[in-house]
Structure 1
Amino acid sequence: PEEKLKETQYTQPAIYIISVILGYILLEKGLQPDMVAGHSLGEYSACTIAGSLAFETGLSLVKLRAESMQDAGITNPGTMAAIIGMTDEDVISMCNTISSDESVVVAANFNCPGQVVISGDINAVHEAMGKAHDLGARMAKELNVSGAFHSPLMDPAKKRLSAALDTIEINTATMPVYANVTAQPTTEADELRSNLKNQLDCPVKWHETIDNMKTAGATEMMEVGPGRVLQGLTRRIDKKLISKGVETLEQIEGIAHV
């Protein structure tokens, strides 16, 4: 049912399955990427396409990740908000000013110039939204999420996922995988494992990731899986980058080899 699919413990595995299947079909058709990256959950799809995670292993991790995040959101209630029209540095400074030992808010997603998502305790996030308006933000909008993802409030989820990551096999990647937490490429299994562990309570450095991929020679980006959010972010980061997307099997048939 559609209502069930909106719950994160079902949404995350569904997105992973669709993204990886589409990615595998693209590989079979000869579209070989030079490098891969994924935003938050998408990093698991990227690792799978790069050969570092078996499909079944990735799916089991994504299921555990979704359940752990849902549970952490109940244990440590929190929320997230998009801040539009402030620099990364100003958002970080604002969050540092508001955060305390009792209530925390952090910059969680650096998506593109002028767009940062904050995450943390409900009161702290609401205070930051008001402060952002005072500081000249064009918009501060709370997101419809079930927890404070990519913040210290996800520590219980990180511990559960880290324990699982320690037990599974991760292979050397066949192509560079750019990590959310570092915005840097790696093919090393131990680094990939560490990056996935640290992802849950650290910010997603997407803007920096795209810049670094561009510096490494990327001229075209292809978003694989449901939605077109990353295509929009890529255009805001650099209009010169060609940005495409594949959401369905039908779209694959119409794609020329890159």
Structure 2
Amino acid sequence: VMDFETGLKLVKLRAEAMQEAAAAPPQGMASIAGLEKAKLAPLCKESAGPGEICKIANVLFDKGFACAGHKEALDRLVEKATAAGAMQAKMLKTKGAFHTDLMLPAKAKLLKALEDAQPKMSAPKCDIYMNVSGKRIAAGTPPSEFVPLLADQLCSEVLWEPSVSAMIADGVKEYYECGPMKQLTAMMKRINQKIWKDMKNIDV
């Protein structure tokens, strides 16, 4: 889709824009596990005070989520989720409300950079899966059709479990995780144990 240098520049810009957007107001993310989405979403809404954001930011596995928003709203959410019977409800170390509208300034900067780079992009040579939609983008799709999704992802739910489930349903059989922490492997265990048993981790 793009050359390595362009990719690195976009990753750098994305990270810097997100960090800048996370600087204020006080915000963050919380890990919530053990509640159905239909139960957690209303708790997020109840936890958000006037002008505050509190929403599901990552759909990771069955009953496993990360929520994001204003810090005080998340503190209330942790209390409400615990009272509602969550197996886990705790604040994460990150200071940014990623994948919420608090990232809108970062989205605007990334979209501009992506649009500037788009003329140099080419159609993907293989199918790719967008976690902003949880759906497959077929090989050969023009970049103009998925570039906006790359920017939308900053302010939208990360649909990790739906994306992985779509890959499995489409017959993808080999899965690799690059890095030392094996977090994706742990999530795969909760998504599909058969696939998890054959998943490979590559230390870097």
**Does structure 1 residue 239 correspond to structure 2 residue 190?**
no
Separation in 2 of the partners of 1:155 and 1:183? 21
1:207 aligned to which of 161, 164, 187 = 161
Partner of 1:184: 135
Q: Give the match's secondary structure for 2:55.
A: strand
More displaced, 212-221 or 94-103? 94-103
2:43 aligned to which of 94, 101, 111 = 94
Any residues of structure 2 matched to 1:128-167 within 5 Å, and which? 128-167=77-116
1:103 aligned to which of 32, 52, 61 = 52
Separation in 2 of the partners of 1:194 and 1:226? 31
Q: Give the match's secondary structure for 2:199.
A: strand
Unaligned runs of 5+ in 1: 1-51, 249-258
Shift of 1:192: 2.5
Partner of 2:69: 120
**Does structure 1 residue 172 correspond to structure 2 residue 128?**
no
**Does structure 1 residue 71 correspond to structure 2 residue 20?**
yes
User: Which amino acid in structure 1 is aligned with residue 136 of structure 2?
Assistant: P
RMSD: 1.3
The alignment of Structure 1 onto Structure 2 pairs a total of residues equal to 197
Any residues of structure 2 matched to 1:8-47 within 5 Å, and which? none
Q: Give the match's secondary structure for 1:200.
A: helix
Separation in 1 of the partners of 2:153 and 2:61? 18
Shift of 1:205: 0.3
Separation in 2 of the partners of 1:110 and 1:123? 22
User: Which amino acid in structure 2 is aligned with residue 86 of structure 1?
Assistant: L
Deviations 1:191-245 (A, max 9, x none): 3311111010111000111111010002231112443110111111010112111
Shift of 1:100: 4.8
Residue 57 of structure 2 contacts residue 66 of structure 2 at CA under 8 Å; is this kept in 1? yes
Tell me the TM-score normalised to structure 2 length.
Answer: 0.92
Separation in 1 of the partners of 2:93 and 2:157? 18
